[in-house]
Amino acid sequence: MSPELHRREFTPIKLKLHSPVPSDIDIAQESDIKPITQVAEELGLLPDEIEMYGPTKAKVKLEVLNRLADVPDGKYIDVTAITRWVHILASG
């Protein structure tokens, strides 16, 4: 690990599984949201490398790319919505 990269271990938020699956709004209201400063720290970002937009949103400054140029690329996963699909099978 680069001496300039000081990250702490990533701690995922535990999923709360329900059956039957609740509505989207019920899922959103029940969810625990990790403070963005904690996410940034877990990723190895410094406080002056993020621009805060409340406790759960921030922009990452492009200068961080220069500092972390030697760090291997990670994986990006973006979940923007949860949609329940109902499949109806009809016999012919």
pLDDT tens, position by position, 10-66: 888 887 888 898 888 888 888 888 899 999 999 889 999 999 998 889 999 999 999
DSSP letters along 24-79, please? Answer: HHHHHHH-----HHHHHHHHT--GGGEEESSSS-EEEPTTHHHHTTTSPP------
Residue where the block lists tokens 């680069």: 2
pLDDT tens, position by position, 64-88: 999 989 988 888 877 766 655 554 5
Number of domains comprising the chain: 1
Cα separation values, 74 from 4, 24, 43, 71, 77, Å: 17, 29, 10, 9, 10
Domain that holds residue 3: 1-92
> Structure pTM?
0.62
First vs last Cα of the chain: how many Å apart? 60
